[in-house]
Chain A
């Protein structure tokens, strides 16, 4: 399924997002992450440590959201962003073969500059000790620019 251009531009043009998970008591938690979006599967991927709070939360409650935005200190009408809500699945220590070639290329491009931890992923080697891949199956997306909103439901 295709999504409106504005949403696609944001999701493909940025690689830094804010993931919000919550525990079984509805206590939210936010962390910044590097992510990759894949339109054909309508999925967002990110890597994290299996002992992190977000993994603990996802195990209690797989529903989560991620916001990707462009911010303008001066003009609120230029503030633009997407919030995607969906369900997460944790793939333990698997290589990222499951990604389509295009996405993998993008992934490589993005992460090439981030050494260390992400090197393992880029070269398709198994992930580092304790690293896991989180896949978010997007169910709903909200886009905003200034005061204007747009939302899409995916299934």
Chain B
């Protein structure tokens, strides 16, 4: 994605507020926070002036808290997408380009859902016998108070709309990204860091949905509105989880490397400690997303790994008849060592890795299991054999003599 520096990724409401002093003097995010803080102060002051019940002040503050939390989450979108590097696939790049364009469209479609929610809500509480307004600010509220409450309602409705807008777009983007990823060739891919950003943004939207539950006390006496909030909550959580899940299934390795890692049987692991290096062959598995290998607690490499988690992990095809067609990939980075403490939370992962090992190396597993072996070779998971995951920070790929650095 080529980032056009002049084109700012901002939403209309944030732009308007951001151009009024004193907000205009502050960076974008802070101005939103200041605006909401000011709202809180004004709200409390108005509450005291017009002698509102304490419970009204609490409800008002809760509303503002929701708006602040939502702002904080949703305003991470623009900076995250700004640091996004271009995917190394034309189609995926175009998709993410379009996603960004619609998200921050110059016609400001993002305000539409919020506007619809706001108008419907106002019509509802003024016309349909719901006595919420009276419950909040008394029977004959002063016009200033009324205006203030409307502003607060707008603040919440607008952000609710943004939540719907961003989560639907995210789901659309993830589904299409997954589809495009299946058509990749050679070294086309979207790097891991970028996929991770997308997943984090989706998780932000999950929190966004959860925060909406804080609104329930405010509207608790109107079961229709409670149902709406619950619906909103479920909708956001479902779409965002689905989007994050789909992104997690998009391979972060380009097909050439993905296939090499999938098809090869051996890898070499290099460690270093106090300048002395160590390199040995290992068997490994790849679940499409992560690379694991097994080692013995007694092995030299495990002893070094415990002191220095930095590794080099090389996987290659070795065809001595056709040396120039040889392919190799080198991952450098760190490892994650799975121990007993990981069992409760990572049990399924560890079990999955074990079954992949059995599937990929059936003869190995059989031989390890049946023979009289030194302790280091015994196949007791966790106790004697340690599961280790490679967490690459850099990837280098060789095709024949050609060396290519692949962004992670």
> Which residues on A sit within 8 Å (CB–CB) of B373?
147
| Partner pick for B277 among A25, A63, A71, A81, CB 8 A cutoff | A63
Q: Does A21 interact with chain B (Cβ within 8 Å)?
A: yes
Given the complex of chains A and B, what is the CA–CA distance between A26 and B310 in angstroms?
A: 7
Whether a CB of chain B sits under 8 angstroms from the CB of A2 is no
With a cutoff of 8 Å between Cβ atoms, the chain A residues found around residue B364 in the complex are 76
Q: Does B323 lie at the interface of the complex (its beta carbon under 8 Å from any beta carbon of A)?
A: yes
Bound CA span A147–B296, Å:
11
Which of these binds chain A: B25-33, B101-109, B266-274, B339-347?
B266-274
Q: Is the CB of A18 within 8 A of B374?
A: no
Bound form: Cα–Cα A63–B277 in Å: 7
Contact call A18/B275, Cβ cutoff below 8 A: no
Other-chain residue from B276, B318, B326 in contact with A85 (beta carbon distance below 8 A): B276
User: What's the Cα separation between A81 and B283 when bound, in Å?
Assistant: 14
- 9-40 of chain A: CB within 8 A of chain B: 16, 18-22, 25-32
CA distance A105 to B316 in the complex (A): 29
For chain B, the count of residues having a C-beta within 8 Å of the partner chain is 39
Q: How far is the CB of A2 from chain B (nearest CB, A)?
A: 24
- The verdict on B363 contacting chain A, using a C-beta distance below 8 Å, is yes
B23 interface contact, C-beta 8 A: no
**Among candidates B270, B273, B376, B401, residue contacting A29 with C-beta atoms closer than 8 Å:** B270
Q: Is A103 an interface residue (CB 8 A)?
A: no
> Is A63 a contact partner of B276 (Cβ separation < 8 A)?
yes
Quick one: which of B280, B308, B323 contacts A83, CB cutoff 8 A? Answer: B280
Q: Is the CB of B278 within 8 A of A75?
A: no
Q: Which residues of B contact A64 (CB under 8 A)?
A: 277
Task: Classify chain A's interface size.
Answer: 35 or more
Cα A143 to Cα B281 with chains together (Å): 12
A66 interface residue (CB < 8 Å to B): yes
Does A61 reach chain B (CB closer than 8 Å)?
A: yes
Q: How far is the CA of A76 from the CA of B363 in the complex (A)?
A: 8
SS of B interface (majority): strand
Q: Are B368 and A76 in contact (CB under 8 A)?
A: yes
- A71 partner, pick from B265, B270, B312, B368, beta carbons under 8 A: B265
Known: A22-B272, A27-B310, A74-B363. A85 touches B278 (CB 8 A): yes
Known A18-B268, A63-B275; contact A29-B323, beta-carbon cutoff 8 A? no
The main secondary structure of chain A at its interface with chain B is strand
Most A CB contacts (10 A, CB to CB) among B274, B276, B401 go to B276
Q: Does B320 contact A (CB under 8 A)?
A: yes
**Nearest chain B CB to A43 CB, angstrom units:** 17
Q: A39 → chain B, closest Cβ, in Å?
A: 21
Q: Which residue of A lies closest to B281 (CB)?
A: A69
Query: Which residues 68-105 of A sit at the B interface, judged by CB distance below 8 A?
Result: 69, 71, 73-77, 79, 81, 83, 85
CA of A97 to CA of B120, assembled, Å: 89
Given contacts A20-B312, A71-B266, contact A28 B332 (CB under 8 A): yes
Bound CA span A19–B310, Å: 16
Asked if B311 is an interface residue, CB under 8 A from chain A, the answer is yes
Task: Please indicate which of the listed interface residues A27, A61, A148 has the most CB atoms of chain B within 10 Å of its own CB.
Answer: A27
Chain A residue contacts of B207, Cβ below 8 A: none
B98 CB–A CB distance under 8 Å: no
The answer to whether A28 and B281 have CB atoms under 8 Å apart is no
B282 to chain A, nearest CB (A): 10
A114→B367 CA distance, assembly (Å):
38
The listed residue with most B CB atoms (<10 A of its CB), out of A27, A30, A65, A81, is A30
Q: In the complex, A61→B274 CA distance in Å?
A: 10
Residues of B within 8 A of A (CB): 265-266, 268, 270-281, 283, 308, 310-314, 316, 318, 320, 323, 326, 328, 330, 332, 363-364, 367-368, 373-374, 376-377, 401
New contact pairs (5) apart from A30-B312, A67-B268, CB-CB < 8 Å: A19-B279, A30-B270, A30-B330, A67-B279, A83-B280
Sample of 17 A–B contacts (CB below 8 Å): A20-B268, A25-B310, A26-B308, A28-B311, A28-B312, A29-B270, A30-B312, A31-B330, A32-B326, A63-B275, A65-B277, A74-B363, A75-B363, A76-B367, A76-B368, A85-B276, A85-B277
